[in-house]
């Protein structure tokens, strides 16, 4: 891929359409909800206005019907006013047309030209209705004008007896003009409201997600050199305050982990440097001049010793890493507690005698548990080696154990020099030495990995390990392991 294409691909990956962003979606939702609300209100207002104008028109129609009902029910002299009444409102913006339909369905009297505009059948049918019961509606006349219409039967006298159907139509063109202007006004209001809602929504959303922008900027600025910086939580909403607090907690963990990693890398480099320097020095000395075969052999043997130390260091680091990630497979089998402690005591018996230290076992013979035999022996051996290296001649190291409910408790106690309280929390760390001048951590080579390995073994079995110590009073290390293999799998 060319450089231009790569830059285009990167730009396309970085660019996000506004409607795909959180702010854009929130603004769209805000504008959409506002639009629906405005439409609902506008529609309600429009139909309210329409209903109100129809109601006013119906009042006028009912008044005219009352007038016509009085006339057709009167005597001949009163009925002489029919012609005047049906032709009274033919001019003006609200023309009123009146028609009297006899019982045989023919028009008896009507406003001039009414038939050419609105026929009899254009009115709601009043057939079968009781007298004075009105039916209302709307009609479109032949001239394209809108009319509000009413039909009702009325009792009549004279030639119209016994009943006559009164049809009244009112020109509502003026109402249509008012409603049309109202619709246009509502349309402009809706358009303007949408623009205003978009502006207000953008302003509100921008202020609402402002803290997210701060968190994003803080996240993007995190480097290995700025792990000590924290997000300012002042003024954050409750939800974002919790997010910011979790972010700061994550930075605390990262800072601690990075500091531990740097310390670990420094320790590994230091441990590797010593044997490598010895190997390099031995090789340089051997190459300075002509030496005998024995001298070269000694140099090679010294290099071999240093290579073995490096190999042991690498193996132990790999074991700890695999134990931390639960990648070491356990070969679980029944183990007798007393027999296991006794085998470890026998292994260190000669060393203890040479050091003048009493090494003994205090554990019941009938306690068994399920674990990886080799790993458990290695863990206890590390503790015993550590206890012997920190005990003085005439001291005592005791390997004890007991069953505690569903667990087995293994204790290694010595009466050596002890550890200061400032070191107790760190003794299980890799390469940590409470006293660098002594062989520490259960490592006879002084690497400071013994207790770290022991902790990893215990964790693989789903157990716990703890240490209590005081300067001049000795140290007590307690391992608690589950007795059954099913519990081992569940806990680990």
pLDDT of residue 238: 81
Q: Is the pTM of this model over 0.85?
A: no
Give CA–CA dist 374/330, Å, rounded.
Answer: 10
- Neighbouring CB atoms inside 10 A of 243's CB total 17
Portion of the chain with pLDDT greater than 70, in percent: 85
Mean pLDDT of the chain: 82
| HSE, side-chain direction, 13 A CA sphere, residue 309 | 21
At residue 434 the predicted structure's pLDDT band, cuts being 50, 70 and 90, is: low
Distances in whole angstroms, Cα of residue 66 to Cα of each of 71, 77, 132, 373 = 9, 18, 9, 112
441 has pLDDT over 60:
no
Beta carbons of 173 and 94 less than 8 angstroms apart: no
Comparing 91-100, 111-120, 340-349, 404-413, the range with the smallest average pLDDT is 91-100
479 has pLDDT over 90:
yes
Comparing 27-41, 147-161, 170-184, 419-433, the range with the smallest average pLDDT is 419-433
At residue 214 the predicted structure's pLDDT band, cuts being 50, 70 and 90, is: confident
Beta carbons of 82 and 69 less than 8 angstroms apart: no
Predicted confidence (pLDDT) per residue in 256-308, tens digit: 888 777 776 776 776 677 778 877 887 777 777 666 777 778 878 888 877 87
182 CA to centre of own chain: 47
At residue 445 the predicted structure's pLDDT band, cuts being 50, 70 and 90, is: very low
190 CA to centre of own chain: 36
The answer for residues whose C-beta is within 8 angstroms of residue 319's C-beta and 6 or more apart is: 328, 453, 456
339 or 449, which is more confident: 339
Give CA–CA dist 464/455, Å, rounded.
Answer: 8
Predicted confidence (pLDDT) per residue in 363-421, tens digit: 999 999 999 888 898 899 989 998 998 888 888 999 999 998 889 999 999 988 888 88
pLDDT of residue 299: 78
Burial 402-412 (b: 16+ CB within 10 A, else e): ebeeebbbbbb
pLDDT of residue 8: 47
108-112, 122-126, 154-158, 213-217 — which one is most confidently predicted on average? Answer: 122-126
Predicted confidence (pLDDT) per residue in 24-81, tens digit: 888 888 888 988 999 999 999 999 988 998 899 899 999 988 888 888 888 766 667 7
pLDDT of residue 409: 93
425 or 168, which is more confident: 168
At residue 113 the predicted structure's pLDDT band, cuts being 50, 70 and 90, is: confident
345 has pLDDT over 70:
yes
Burial of residue 305, with CB atoms counted within 10 A of its CB: 0-12 exposed, 13-18 middle, 19 or more buried: middle
Domains of the chain: 69-176 (3.30.450), 238-324 (1.10.287), 332-491 (3.30.565.10)
The answer for residues whose C-beta is within 8 angstroms of residue 399's C-beta and 6 or more apart is: 341, 344, 345, 359, 360, 361, 362, 363, 380, 384, 410, 411, 412
pLDDT of residue 326: 66
11 has pLDDT over 60:
no
């Amino acid at each position: 891929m060319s450089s231009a294409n790569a830059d285009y691909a990167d730009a396309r990956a970085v660019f996000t359409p506004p409607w795909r962003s959180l702010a854009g979606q929130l603004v769209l939702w805000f504008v959409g909800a506002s639009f629906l609300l405005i439409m609902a209100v506008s529609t309600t207002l429009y139909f309210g206005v329409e209903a109100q104008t129809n109601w006013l028109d119906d009042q006028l129609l009912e008044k005219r019907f009352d007038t016509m009902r009085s006339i057709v029910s009167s005597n001949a002299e009163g009925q002489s006013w029919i012609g005047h009444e049906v032709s009274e409102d033919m001019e003006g913006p609200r023309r009123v047309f009146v028609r009297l339909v006899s019982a045989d369905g023919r028009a008896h009297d009507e406003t001039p030209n009414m038939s050419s505009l609105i026929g009899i059948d254009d009115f709601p049918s009043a057939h079968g209705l009781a007298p004075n019961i009105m039916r209302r509606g709307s009609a479109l006349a032949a001239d394209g004008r809108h009319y509000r219409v009413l039909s009702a039967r009325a009792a009549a006298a004279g030639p119209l007896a016994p009943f006559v159907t009164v049809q009244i139509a009112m020109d509502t063109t003026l109402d249509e003009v008012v409603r049309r202007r109202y619709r246009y006004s509502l349309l402009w209001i809706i358009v303007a409201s949408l623009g205003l809602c978009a502006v207000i929504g953008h302003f509100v959303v921008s202020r609402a997600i402002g803290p997210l922008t701060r968190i994003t900027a803080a996240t993007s600025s995190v480097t290995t050199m700025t792990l000590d910086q924290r997000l300012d939580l002042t003024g954050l909403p409750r939800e974002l305050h919790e997010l910011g607090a979790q972010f700061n907690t994550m930075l605390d963990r990262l800072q601690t982990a990075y500091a531990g990693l740097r310390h670990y890398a420094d320790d590994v480099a230091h441990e590797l440097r010593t044997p490598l320097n010895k190997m390099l020095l031995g090789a340089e000395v051997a190459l300075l001049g002509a030496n005998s075969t024995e001298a070269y052999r000694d140099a090679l043997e010294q290099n071999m010793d240093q290579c073995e130390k490096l190999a042991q260091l690498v193996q132990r680091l790999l074991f700890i890493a695999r134990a931390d990630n639960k990648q070491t497979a356990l070969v679980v089998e029944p183990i007798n507690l007393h027999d296991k402690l006794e085998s470890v005591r026998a292994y260190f018996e000669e060393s203890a005698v040479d050091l003048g230290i009493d090494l003994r076992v205090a554990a019941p013979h009938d306690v068994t548990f399920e674990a990886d035999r080799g790993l458990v022996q290695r863990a206890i051996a590390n503790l015993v080696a550590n206890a012997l290296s920190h005990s003085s001649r005439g001291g005592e190291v005791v390997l004890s154990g007991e069953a505690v409910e569903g667990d087995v408790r293994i204790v290694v106690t010595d009466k050596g020099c002890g550890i200061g309280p400032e070191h107790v929390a760190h003794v299980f760390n890799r390469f940590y030495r409470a006293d660098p001048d002594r062989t520490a951590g259960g490592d006879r080579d002084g690497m400071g990995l013994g207790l770290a390995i022991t902790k990893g073994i215990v964790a693989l079995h789903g157990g716990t390990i703890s240490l209590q110590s005081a300067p001049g009073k000795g140290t007590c290390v307690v391992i608690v392991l589950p007795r059954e293999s099913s519990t081992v799998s569940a806990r680990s």
